[in-house]
Amino acid sequence: MSPERKPGRADDGKKAAAGDKETDAAESQSGRKPWVKKTPVQIVLDQIAKQEEKVNDMREELKKEERELQKLQQAKKVLEAT
């Protein structure tokens, strides 16, 4: 045994290999789709789509908040008039 080699290293390799088998089995049982590598263009297009969706959601939320503000401003006018 050379001094650079660590005695516990062989055991770790065996454990890692056994862990990989367990992971593979778990993935096949869970029914997950296989990973498909995306091109940089696909990644950017996905980011754009996500950002558009996020902006649309924020616009809808803003419309709701503006309606609520209108209601409160009308209530304020009524209270100030009395």
Structure-token pair, residue 80: 């100030």
**Would you say residue 70 lies in a domain?**
yes
Q: Is the pLDDT score of 20 beyond 90?
A: no
**Would you say residue 1 lies in a domain?**
no
Confidence band for 80, pLDDT divided at 50, 70 and 90? very high
pLDDT (average), residues 49-65: 98
**Would you say residue 19 lies in a domain?**
yes
Cα dihedral sign, 12-18-20-22: negative
Give percent of the chain with pLDDT exceeding 90. Answer: 57
Tell me how many domains the chain contains. 1
**Would you say residue 2 lies in a domain?**
no
Q: Is the pLDDT score of 52 beyond 70?
A: yes
**Would you say residue 55 lies in a domain?**
yes
pTM for the full model?
0.52
**Would you say residue 75 lies in a domain?**
yes
Give residue 38's domain range: 9-81
Give the number of C-alpha atoms closer than 13 A to the C-alpha of residue 20, restricted to the C-beta side.
6
pLDDT (average), residues 33-52: 96
